Structure 1
């Protein structure tokens, strides 16, 4: 009976309990495998199972420069024919050179490995760093993106000559105090860990990279670090089967190519005292090979770690590892001793030559699968560029966006709404300079910035607390300096003190840019009105956390671990985006950024070379996603400083459709304005004029018969060139308050009324053909005031600009901005005889006090785009309804196409036959305007495109026509259309 039971037990052990999928590499080029194997001596067959460490940066090595220097390793490759190397510190080009050097010394091409759990940047500089696994664990429904990350890691690794990634981490981190796995795990839920590990593994293997799931049989519930000692896992077998082994089983089912064994003591699996799992036959052979049916490569964890060397040294561990069932011994410290010990084990019968041969052939098959049967050295040309593809930035951004987690949101504070009523401070703790988070927050509205050290004393915190008293909301970001538990995740006493003081006194949104386990160390965080968790400190978490707070992106992340009773696994408040601009990269809309940048840069270079403009700003968005934002040139040809993206420009005639038409749409929307009523109905002064019955629809489409313009400043001058009585004075006074030239020229306070009378009395054109005219737009501020009871500027600011967060849009900007923040326009040699800088360029608008409906508005590109994005979104932006969809449809449509008039109501539109007023590829539904100073805005609903071009082409003189002649403004948007059409053609 005992014999029968023993047979049954052996049978059960021999039959895999997991439906394992054979790794694909095992079938790779068997002819090459056999032919190479036949050339190897017995020692060389053993050496193929040894992998030694190497660094391409000896100066920074943390693992002993004598043993891992390229010179030492080259000797091991040449003399002992080791089978592989694992790289640690260095840079991509040095590593590629060392790889080529070692491969040239090898009898059989080497397998090259790295720990690249979150990308090559885990080990070498100047390469892509993807999110940590714990961050990915928070990313809801992101397995497609994790697969893509795996694909990109594979492509980058293979480009560098790397064949094995010791990843994915399949440990279930169910111990918050785990000092070694922690943020390297996908989380505490075995199903989530398995799903995400499988997605990552498949992405890597599908693109030619061998993987090694680790740390078998599970390193997630340890309180010690196997780099320094031998951790003990005290779980029973049922717990191990149910939790720790689950992700490995799922990976094996999906064709996993490799498994790394951890240095752990696990009495439930093998109760031999002080025996690491790496050296346990029960774990490696009986459990992994027989019970789980794994057929791929089995790697040891690094053989230099104290978890193994504490009890086994001088090559003994290497021999015992192979006896246990290992295929590849990573980081063998002493190759000659290891080979000698392994040969002793063969002589003792602990392992057979046939077993060595089987494992050697498995290694050779892996080499064939990664292409070493047709080895080529790593090409150094364009290596840095190839290892930093633009697609990786998009993957990083999308993964981060899906991971960001809102853990608290009292009274639905997030996303922030009602920007016109909020005074916002953005406080950074732990970074002494303006941060990415702060700069991104400033894209949405006016904010004030504060920085506090994570070592701040009471005086600094007292000062900060006092400075924050006037603010309605404080956005507090914690830039935690460490992700490791041994140093409290970077939470210092100063961080906690500042956090407690600020959250006690103010409506605070706390963004934690650090390890989620840090939440348990942050005192006072429960008093925050809202909490956003970024999981780690990167440019992406900073940027996108700010975008989430302002509602540009949704919140979908879920906490992947339990921190304490307050913050538990699965917590995460979902938030929807509210239609504010999102800032991203061209790849998110399917455009190659290198191509786009190169083409736009070429056109801008032409503009600068031909002196079409000294500089400017371009901003482009598609479907609400800003994918291009760039300043170019200088404010003037004489200045050395570069234009800033935040610089204000004189918008000239773009005032017509970013101010006047906006206000008129608001009045139309509320039923206060009828486009088919006459001018006299809304402006009493015109009731007894020849313009009284001119319909607003005709005026706004430039077909009412008005003259194109009146040169009012010339009408104020006598024939001898002197000013007429009661027009201008050289000093300001109550009678002459309108500043034309600061300190030099002031206009009489009643003269704007005379200008309006001049419009009233002006003759009409003989016919009502299309004639572009400024005159009616000069009058709209008066109409707005009569209908709304507010001044033109107050109406726009209160109903539109401040609510949109478009705080730079203003008339007479020197009231609020320094001159060096505003681009100069023209050196005026005919009227003002000075440089016009910070004052409206248009002479009529200047004589109106800088506020007119046809010109006078200043702003930066980002704020102009907010208005136009509201148009594209049919009147909706930032959670607010500004205009009805039907209003936008009416105003932006052709009004009189039957007579060849291309205009919308206020808006310009493409001509029916291309004449260059609009981009060549603009759809009939598109609309926009240009400005005399060198401005263009254009929106195309058919493509979701929003385009803002700001420049001061009139500097130093308006005589320059190169900007128009070269079609720079329309040409740049046409480049975007071409790139989108190229993408569409490719997809089709």
Structure 2
């Protein structure tokens, strides 16, 4: 923890403690009337209201935007005829609600105060809107991340105001100290009153900072009950001292901090009001004496919904409304019979049970709230771009950060998490109660090879038995328990068969259990404590699934803590921090300060224009900044048409591409770097030192540094295949044949086979090739044919095994391979060129380069295939100076040596194996590339770039050579470099 961060945290904590210790803050809507004009509006509206209309201002009716036109008409007439004070909207959609809202406002003489019960955002009530985490999830946030709750509240307020909503009935300030609570439960921040108060305060302040009115609930505390007040009247059988000590604590603190509203629950609390069956909403002792007088609350006192059985079981509509106002309530929510309620209150005034002055005072308070909300200058909700405005990237960023910082590791035997030494793991993912692959499984697959299994409680026993047998082949099981219900009344969505499977898998001793559900469900999973690790994300969403998978692989560390006690194994505050290993994190551009709208639009424009110009059939673009993948997108199709027998399906993110010359920096170069680290290779030695057969050749004294910078006088390339062909088009003896045999075992295509000794002829031809007359920069493939032999000679390990064991498998880059047809179906592999000259066929799943094809597809200059995501792991390892996933693959010194300019004084743009920006822009690199940047391009349309100064890692894979290499529009248009230039501009531009 840095000193600067410590000071910031201390200031934050001091601010919170000062707020709760100082004298009470008057609610802002009572002390901040915008101007004299607004005050005059309050006075004029009040004076124009009849006594009945002043009563009506204290009533908010329910509104639904997903019902019939007839319903909307009846609601409109209710608003028009009785001039109620507001509407509480429930189910519907944003555009439908906005239209209905505008209609109601147009019919109302006094603008309506619009409210919503949106504890976890508008999505609690409206489709197509943002869903934030439940408060129980937020209860897991550590103290130093609670500012995220403030950001959530502020963002939620902006969305509410965009929707024409002025009040959110949140936050929940109840302390959930009863695990069986059927109504609060996951809606509470937890069982610790201090945390509940602190987090509710952040939430409240965030909303109120953007001018939204709030309402703490459910006063005087609904956390310790086993009854749902929607269906009956709960009993809180505690002493006054107990209530003061626990339940009332958060309310007291937030009231003192300036809460604008408090919602009173329908509870029977004998210690506060001994009257049998009297709900707290109708109790003068609780509303007036305790809340208003003793606690000094000056803001709006809202009732809980007046249609709930906890109220109506003993008090019918109308009568209940009257008693509510008699008790001291300011606003009645969800009044079911407005004319009867008004009549009953009028009767109470006539009987002297309520004074007109009291009604007038509350009416003025309501109007002041409306003025504060801007209703003195009412404007309709603008429908244009409404859904887009409600779903901004910032909201997703806050959502991601809240989720990331709440995920809690509850068990971690042997520090298993985050997973390390991936090359030692045989991993299966098992998603319980999910019939199809889940977001959790898909994200797990981004990190290494993971085989997926899906089990539901309705699965046939024979199928389950087969899966059990298959799982025995793995030494690690990543189990996701997907629970589609979070409520205790539904056993948290837990099926008995699922619980048995959890116990069975945990007992294998090789399971990591991630439970996507209410933390209290852990008590319904006997045996889960036998798992090697237990991860609790608290609920089932795409964010919890994706981020839990990322945590397991160490993209970030766990910091959350359990906000409640479940049982003896899982208790309040339980937390096992895990470190970040620095593996790729998958997120959105806003997390690194880039506008996703800008970046996506720019990249889409460049790529789509290239597709339109037929510069390539399709491509995959992947970008990362500071180790965070912020754009990962597939474009176009794998072919243009079915001319060569391959239908043009869309490109997929996990498609395998022929890397072409990107092979050089993905195989040969890292191998040489490793040999340098091992003391087995010296770039300033001569070729003869590592190639003894070159001792008497014209290349004996050439220095490897010159070779790797393409200034060693080597020929650019040799068309080896041409020497195999006779003038009449037939193949020469001992070269190629159309039938496979012991003499011709090397498959160049499905119907063309190479003589077994011909590869040695290729190596001999390289050795004996003439040198260029002048020592100058000429890009040459030839030396890269030789590096596999050097690796074998220096290590005794075959080149492919060395590369895979040293880099790919530990990196989790398991798709990177030569000859991919050995491991993958052709449907996973993108075809390249139709070779009409040499192989007379479509090249699909075999290396495009002819020379590499004649070496059985395995060379140091071409032949590597793989996905963009797996290539980026290697690229990111370079950017991090040889470190990735907690392992140091290469020393920082050797990475620095190979990626710097070697001969800048000569104007050379080359590193050792790597390309670098020219000293004058020529299109080989992005325009904004820094001198420290480096990368390589490939003939088939591939490109990768690393810029340490900007934190950039970039991969572009395409098959621009389909169907012919003569199409060079990808270079003419600078597609690959222009795409990454968009990232540079996005960084410079910011959000």
The two structures have a TM-score, normalised by structure 2, of 0.96
| SS class of match (1:613) | coil
Which one of the candidate residues 253, 261, 273 is aligned to 1:270? 273
Q: Does residue 695 of the first structure (1) align with residue 703 of the second (2)? A: yes
Superposition map of 1:326-405 within 5 A: 326-405=329-408
Report the counterpart of residue 709 of structure 1 in structure 2.
Answer: 717
Q: Would you say the 8 A contact 1:424–1:448 is kept in 2? A: yes
State which of 739, 753, 760 in structure 2 corresponds to 1:746: 753
2:109 pairs with 1:107: yes
Query: Alpha-carbon deviations, 1:245-284, whole Å to 9, x = none?
Result: 1111121122111000011111111111111111111111
Gaps of 5+ in 1: 1-15, 60-64
Alignment of 1:529-608 (within 5 A): 529-608=532-611
Does the CA-based 8 Å contact 2:639-2:649 persist in structure 1? no
| Cα offsets for 1:905-963 (capped at 9, x unmatched) | 10000011111100000100000000000000000000110000000000010010110
CA contact (8 A) 1:465 1:501 kept: no
Name 1:53's counterpart in structure 2: 62
- C-alpha distance in structure 2 between counterparts of 1:452 and 1:416, whole Å: 24
| Alpha-carbon distance in 1 for matches of 2:658, 2:459 | 43
CA distance in 1 between counterparts of 2:315 and 2:727 reads 106
Q: CA deviation at 1:646?
A: 0.3
Determine the C-alpha separation between the residues in 1 that align with 2:344 and 2:725. Answer: 106
2:773 matched to 1:769?
A: no
User: Within 2, Cα distance between the matches of 1:237 and 1:474?
Assistant: 51
In 2, distance between residues paired with 1:918 and 1:630? 21
Q: Secondary structure, in 3 states, of the residue corresponding to 1:671?
A: coil
Query: Would you say 1:23 and 2:30 are equivalent positions?
Result: no
Superposition CA RMSD, Å: 1.3
- Structure 1 residue 18 displacement after superposition: 8.0
What is the CA-CA distance between 1:788 and the residue it aligns to? 0.9
1: CA distance, partners of 2:365 / 2:727:
100
| C-alpha contact (below 8 Å) 2:637/2:650 kept by paired residues | yes
Distance across 2 between alignment mates of 1:156 and 1:314: 33
Correspondent of 1:505 among 504, 508, 511: 508
Q: Aligned pair 1:127/2:129, yes or no?
A: yes
Partner Cα separation in structure 2 for residue 737 and residue 54 of structure 1: 77
Which blocks of at least 5 consecutive residues in structure 2 are unaligned?
1-19, 642-646
How many angstroms apart in 1 are the aligned matches of 2:768 and 2:678?
31
1:721 Cα deviation from its structure 2 partner:
3.4
Q: In structure 1, what is the equivalent of residue 961 of structure 2?
A: 954
Alignment correspondent of 2:421: 418
Distance 1:406 1:447 in 2: 21
Equivalence for 1:208: 211
Q: What's the CA shift for 1:717?
A: 2.4
DSSP 3-state at the match of 2:139: helix
Cα distance in 1 for partners of 2:21, 2:707 equals: 82
> Which deviations, in whole Å up to 9, do the C-alpha atoms of 1:61-112 show, x marking residues without a partner?
xxxx99xx32222111111100001111111111111101110110100001
1:72 aligns with 2:81: no
Answer yes or no: is the 8 Å Cα contact 1:455–1:493 preserved in 2.
no
Farther-moved stretch of structure 1 (716-725 vs 773-782): 716-725
The answer (yes or no) to whether the contact 1:19–1:293 under 8 Å persists in 2 is: no
Q: Is residue 226 of structure 1 aligned with residue 218 of structure 2?
A: no
Between the aligned partners of 1:17 and 1:929, the Cα distance in structure 2 is 62
Deviation at 1:506, TM superposition (A): 4.4
Is the contact between residue 317 and residue 335 of structure 2 (CA under 8 Å) also seen in structure 1? no
Return the alpha-carbon distance in structure 2 between the equivalents of residues 467 and 709 of structure 1: 49
* Cα distance between partner residues in 2 of 1:670 and 1:868: 21
Matched, 1:166 2:166: no
In 2: Cα distance, 1:52 partner to 1:884 partner:
69
1:646 aligns with 2:654: yes
Look up the match of 2:4.
none
Deviation at 1:326, TM superposition (A): 0.9
Q: Is the 8 A contact 1:461 1:498 kept in 2?
A: no
**Which of 689, 694, 704 is the matching residue for 1:681?**
689
* Higher deviation after alignment, 931-940 or 245-254: 245-254
Maintained 8 Å contact 1:216/1:261: yes
Match of 2:98 in 1: 96
TM-score, length of structure 1 as denominator length: 0.96
Cα deviation code 1:645-702 (max 9, x no counterpart): 0000000000000110011111111111111101110111111111111111111011
How far did residue 458 of structure 1 move? Answer: 4.1
SS in 1 for 2:936: strand
Residue 461 in 1 paired to residue 464 in 2? Answer: yes
1:313-346 deviation line (CA, Å, top 9, x unaligned): 1411111111111110000111111111111111
Q: Which residue of structure 1 lines up, in the alignment, with residue 89 of structure 2?
A: 87
Query: 2:50 — aligned with what?
Result: 41
Alignment of 1:603-642 (within 5 A): 603-638=606-641, 639-642=647-650
Q: How does 1:423-434 map to 2 (within 5 A)?
A: 423-434=426-437
Task: Report the counterpart of residue 6 of structure 1 in structure 2.
Answer: none
Deviations 1:283-328 (A, max 9, x none): 1111111111111111000011111111111411111111111110
Aligned partner of 1:838 among 845, 860, 865? 845
CA distance in 2, matches of 1:269, 1:73: 37
Match of 2:5 in 1: none
User: Using the alignment, how far apart are the partners of 1:23 and 1:692 within structure 2?
Assistant: 86
Match of 1:505, SS state, is coil
Equivalent pair of 2:509/2:530 in contact (CA under 8 Å): no
Structure-1 residue corresponding to 2:409: 406
Cα separation, 2, equivalents of 1:820 and 1:87? 50
Query: SS of 1:657's equivalent?
Result: helix
Displacement of 1:722 = 2.9
Count of residue pairs the alignment pairs up = 961
| 1:235 aligns to 2:238 (yes or no) | yes
Provide the C-alpha distance between the structure 2 equivalents of 1:206 and 1:941, rounded to a whole number of angstroms: 39
Q: Deviations over 1:510-539 (max 9, x none)?
A: 100000000000122011110001100000
- Out of 835, 859, 874, which is 2:881 matched to? 874
Q: Does 1:176 pair with 2:179?
A: yes
1:722-774 C-alpha deviation (Å, 9 max, x unpaired): 322211111111111111121x2111111111111111111111111111000
Give the equivalent residue in structure 1 for 2:981: 974
Q: Counterparts of 1:311 and 1:96 in 2: how far apart (Å)?
A: 36
2:823 is matched with which residue: 804, 810, 816? Answer: 816
SS at match of 1:228: coil
For residue 736 of structure 1, the aligned residue among 744, 747, 761 is 744
